[in-house]
Amino acid sequence: MRIIIDQEEIQDLMTVDQFIGMQEGKMAAAKAVMSYFVYTDEGARLTPEEGAMWIGKLSIRKLTEAANEFTQKVQEIIVPNPSGRAST
């Protein structure tokens, strides 16, 4: 399994509260958003419910690593750089 972020879709699916929660390091907010972007190794997308179940089975270390990486990528997509464009 892996988490793949779709740049356009993340902006439609993620709420402001979830974004703020992720910035504050809240794992529940990260899990809720990450669950939409879980894929099998073959490239099939899981439902958010299946994704949440998979994420829920990760160790704390793995979840923390995944959430940190996910939050960084989301930040790059959503938060504009000094030129006014998204960081990517």
For residue 12, tell me if it sits in a domain: yes
> Does residue 88 form part of some domain?
no
When divided into structural domains, the chain yields a total of 1
Inter-residue contact 65 to 20 (CB < 8 Å): no
Q: How confident is the model at residue 80 (pLDDT cuts 50, 70, 90)?
A: low
The DSSP element (H or E) to which 38 belongs, if any, is strand 38-39
3: tokens are 């988490």
In a domain, 63, yes or no: yes
Kindly report, residue by residue over 33-64, the tens digit of the pLDDT.
999 999 999 999 999 999 999 999 999 999 88
Other beta carbons within 10 Å of 22: 24
Residue 87 lies in a domain: no
Which domain, by its residues, includes 53? 2-76
Whether residue 83 lies inside any domain: the answer is no
84 falls within a domain: no
Q: Is residue 82 in some structural domain? A: no
